[in-house]
Amino acid sequence: MGNCFRSCVSIVWRGVNISLAQESKVDLTALTQETQKISQKADEMTLIWWIPEEFWQISFAQDPTATEAQSEEFIKILHPYTLIAVVDGKVGSFGGVTYRSEADIRPILTLEIARGLTICHLMKMKLMPMSRISYQ
């Protein structure tokens, strides 16, 4: 991974205090950009995205096809977990990306959860059956 991600994945959440009434007014793109760290060089691409529960609340609130029951059920499933997506790859001559496997990435990841408190070698958890929707 790029140098800025090599030793530690540090996700800083500046806090988004959002009342339920304001969720439809929040810029989901801005929230997404705030919770992502991207390193893209000519021949590599790394993306780390902390996807907080607030992202899902706002996303569902702004989706006219989603029901409140669907939103509540989905968020209830994710609530016990911290969701972090990591993608790392080499960009080829024609723009195609060859991604590193989870087995290559997982051993070098660390997560800084508070100033000075770091979790090394994030372990693969056994997830509740309903939450294994797209975990790889």
- Residue 92 CB neighbours (<10 A): 10
- Which of 39 and 121 is assigned the larger pLDDT? 39
- Which of 91 and 112 is assigned the larger pLDDT? 91
The per-residue pLDDT for 128 is: 58
pLDDT confidence of 41, banded at 50, 70, 90? Answer: confident
The per-residue pLDDT for 51 is: 93
Across 68-72, 93-97, 106-110, least confident range? 106-110
Say how far apart CA 118 and CA 112 lie, in whole Å.
4
Say how far apart CA 125 and CA 103 lie, in whole Å.
14
- pTM of the shown model: 0.68
Say how far apart CA 74 and CA 58 lie, in whole Å.
13
Which 3 state secondary structure label does DSSP give 121?
coil
Q: Which of 78, 105, 80, 111 is nearest to 90 (CA)?
A: 105
Say if residue 22's pLDDT is above 50.
yes
